[in-house]
């Protein structure tokens, strides 16, 4: 099999070491010739790259490795870009979460005002990466799992319609692992699912094993009692906020017991509960900075200091193996069935054709083939129409530099109670994002 060249855009990300370890663990499925790291933040990338260079030397010394801040060096002669960037880093995520909470509104990195603020920062940076790839390696594929995925996907659809981009999210994959554990399966790969929605805004409507046996009733029963909390604690996020999210899924499911929901729907359906149970002084961003970020950079520092990754506590990002599955599907035309964020075009029959929806697809060398999910019920359709309008308005606000459209997007969000509160939040977010957002008028 051909050995592939991969650029990881976001070389300084705390997720990068886990992804490198995952790629190394799957070399028999996706052989690799070289890995390049690209990041605008040279100092941050140096720490992650320094540790990963040692890991590669010890585990796969034949793989060539480059770290760079130069786009031409990073994007020349590659097959795949794996993009997980965070525009503004965790410091700006903290603002995304705390500013809405100050106004009594949900503060979350991908939902509501926080997600819109993050999207306004991310669109330009992701489009720039796409342009680098198309300039220096026009035959490569861009595998995007940068958040907020819904807004980024709409931006790439509207503003780079011919680019070879696949937008994917790991959250359904993580939830499916919890489902599998709840009913005693070894892996989500023992299941085949039907699903429809938008990113962080969807519902499972069918789950079967490989013999076609219906698993959905057992999973629905578990979610109705426990949410996605399982006995296998290894699958759970360690932070209390995540475990609360998994438990809250039972209340979300109660609105349509025939399905099982994406966990993020809680922010749209129970925003008052979320605000009441949030600490405006310490949000998820603080948990991540004190937890994951401190841990990963600490471990990378130890590897560099010791000159070896032996006994390192860094671990494989197991469920990120979906990235290998996606790259393999493109490289070897495997027709892997995966949930992707794609232009609707009839996959959901009674929904906006240009909406970027999350549905099962068969992925091959020519990209994704969405599988038709039929017509959807009025409840979900109404929620999704409102949310997709928000996402489209944000992208229009960015491309037109329109204050008016961003205010409209905030006002339209289910999470924001009034146009006045939307305007107050917008004023604060605009100040905080000076230098990151376009100048709006």
284 annotated to bind ligand: yes
**Alpha helix locations (H) across 270-377?**
271-276, 284-288, 294-306, 321-332
Residues recognised as catalytic: 170, 264
110 contacts 148 by C-beta, under 8 angstroms: yes
Cα dihedral 228/229/233/237 (nearest 10)? 70
Please give the helix or strand (H or E) that residue 382 lies within, else none. helix 378-400
**157 annotated ligand binder:** no
**340 close to 366: Cβ distance less than 8 angstroms:** no
Confirm or deny that 147 is annotated as ligand binding: yes
Name the pairing type of β-strands 141-144 and 80-83: parallel
Look up tokens 């996907």; give the residue: 153
Q: Confirm if 431 and 92 have CB atoms less than 8 A apart.
A: no
**Token digits of residue 266:** 């809680």
Q: Residue 4 and residue 7: Cα distance in Å, rounded?
A: 10
Encoding tokens for residue 166? Answer: 């696949």
Give the C-alpha distances (Å, rounded to integers) separating 112 from 115, 269, 288: 5, 12, 20
Contact indicator for 115, 151 with CB cutoff of 8 Å: yes
Q: DSSP class of residue 416?
A: -
Instruction: Output the six-digit token pair for 425.
Output: 């939040």
Chain centroid, CA 62 distance in Å:
31
d(CA 355, CA 352): 5
292 annotated binding-site participant: no
Instruction: Report how far residue 159's alpha carbon sits from residue 365's, in angstroms, rounded to the nearest whole number.
Output: 23
The secondary structure element, H or E, covering residue 359 is: strand 356-364
Q: Which residues pair with 38 in a beta bridge?
A: 9, 68
What gap in Å lies between CA 109 and CA 308, rounded to an integer?
Answer: 35
Say if residue 93 carries a ligand binding annotation: yes
Phi-psi region of 88 (alpha: psi -120 to 50; beta: other; left: phi over 0): left
CA-closest candidate to residue 179, choices 164, 168, 195, 166: 195
- Residue ranges for the binding site for substrate? 93, 147, 284
Q: Binding site residues for Mn(2+), as ranges?
A: 169, 200
Residues of the binding site: 93, 147, 169, 200, 284
């Amino acid at each position: 099999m051909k050995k592939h060249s991969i650029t990881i855009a976001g070389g300084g990300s705390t997720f990068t070491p886990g992804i490198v370890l995952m790629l190394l663990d799957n070399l028999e499925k996706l052989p690799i010739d070289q890995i390049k790291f690209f990041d605008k933040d040279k100092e941050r990338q140096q720490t992650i790259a320094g540790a990963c260079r040692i890991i590669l030397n010890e585990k796969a010394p034949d793989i060539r490795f480059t770290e760079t801040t130069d786009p031409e060096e990073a994007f020349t002669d590659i097959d795949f870009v794996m993009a997980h960037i965070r525009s503004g880093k965790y410091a700006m995520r903290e603002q995304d979460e705390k500013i809405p909470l100050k106004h009594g509104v949900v503060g979350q990195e991908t939902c509501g005002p926080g997600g819109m603020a993050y999207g306004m920062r991310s669109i330009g940076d992701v489009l720039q990466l796409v342009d680098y790839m198309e300039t220096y390696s026009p035959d490569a594929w861009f595998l995007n799992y940068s958040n907020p995925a819904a807004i980024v996907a709409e931006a790439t659809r509207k503003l780079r319609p011919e680019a070879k981009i696949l937008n994917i999210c790991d959250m359904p994959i993580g939830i499916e692992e919890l489902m599998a554990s709840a009913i005693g399966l070894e892996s989500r790969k023992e299941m085949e699912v039907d699903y429809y929605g938008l990113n962080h805004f969807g519902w499972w409507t069918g789950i079967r094993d490989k013999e076609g046996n219906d698993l959905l009733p057992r999973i629905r029963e578990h979610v109705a009692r426990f949410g996605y909390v399982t006995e296998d604690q290894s699958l759970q996020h360690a932070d209390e906020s995540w475990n609360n999210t998994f438990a809250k899924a039972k209340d979300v499911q109660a609105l349509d017991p025939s399905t099982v929901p994406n966990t993020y729907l809680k922010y749209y359906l129970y925003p008052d509960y979320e605000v009441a149970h949030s600490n405006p002084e310490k949000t998820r961003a603080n948990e991540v900075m004190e937890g994951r970020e401190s841990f990963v950079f600490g471990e990378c520092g130890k590897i560099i200091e010791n000159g070896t990754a032996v006994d390192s506590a860094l671990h494989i990002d197991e469920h990120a193996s979906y990235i290998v599955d996606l790259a393999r599907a493109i490289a070897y035309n495997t027709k892997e069935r995966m949930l992707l964020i794609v232009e609707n075009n009839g996959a959901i029959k009674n929904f906006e054709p240009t909406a970027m929806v999350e549905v099962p697809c068969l992925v091959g060398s020519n990209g994704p083939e969405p599988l038709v999910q039929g017509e959807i019920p009025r409840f979900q359709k109404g929620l999704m129409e409102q949310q997709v309008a928000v996402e489209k308005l944000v992208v229009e606000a960015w491309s037109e530099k329109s204050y008016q459209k961003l205010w409209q997007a905030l006002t339209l969000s289910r999470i924001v109670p009034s146009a006045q509160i939307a305007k107050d939040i917008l004023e604060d977010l605009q100040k905080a994002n000076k230098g990151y957002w376009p100048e709006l008028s």
